[in-house]
Amino acid sequence: MRILLVEDEKKVARFIQQGLEEEHHTVDVAHDGESGLTLAGAQHYDVIILDVMLPGKSGIDVTRELRARKRATPILMLTAKTATEDKVAGLDSGADDYLTKPFAFAELLARVRSLLRRGTQEKSTILTLADLELDTVTHKARRGIRIIDLTTKEYALLEFFLRNKERVLSRTIIAEHIWDYHFDTGTNLIDVYINHLRNKVDTGFDRKLIHTVRGVGYVLKEE
């Protein structure tokens, strides 16, 4: 899914970003509160990971402003502070969860997965349509008895489709969720990746699941 990371310590930010991208998430990074607030207001994110101590606006101020704007995106706060009153202040500002530095990356991933499940209607870690199945924990995909080997971007596309099955997704929406905000929408890269994914998911099966909606985009559905 698409995640916004707001962390002013660039070394920490790179570490978290790399780890999340290895888990097939798309990650945008901001290093101060104002930039984070701007991105969070302009783009759709599935989870926001937000440091408390930021230049300009603090993570608590950013959270309050987002909630005041009726932005319900799940927020995980990171902080070096351990005092109970600091955690209470973060949660009272509208954050959904709180993680104290230093932390094990496995715990951060577990918290992110929990927030992703909380933020969607789909609570299971297994996403399905017809005989297509994707395990979001092991990242394994299959169609019937056939295992599907996916690249990182193909996995991200398939997960996004399965979480939005029956919904027509425009190229712009796909770009916003699978690539970062620097993506050049004038290229045909999305169509190339869709064709790769279609070959892996539909080739050899009478029932096709990935459909082109001419002039609009793509949809994952049963015919």
Give span(s): CATH 1.10.10.10, the chain.
Answer: 126-220
Give span(s): CATH 3.40.50.2300, the chain.
Answer: 2-118
Residue 184 has pLDDT above 70, yes or no: no
pLDDT (average), residues 146-175: 90
pLDDT of residue 101: 86
Residue ranges of E strands in the chain? 2-6, 26-30, 47-51, 75-79, 97-100, 126-129, 132-135, 141-143, 146-148, 169-170, 210-213, 217-220
At 195, list the tokens. 């064709």
pTM, two decimals, is 0.64
Banded model confidence at residue 185, pLDDT cuts 50, 70, 90:
low
Torsion of CA 199, 204, 205, 208, to 10 degrees: 30
Q: What is the CATH number of domain 2-118?
A: 3.40.50.2300
Integer Cα distance of 218 and 98 in angstroms: 37
Integer Cα distance of 82 and 84 in angstroms: 6
At 148, list the tokens. 């599907």
Q: What is the CATH number of domain 126-220?
A: 1.10.10.10
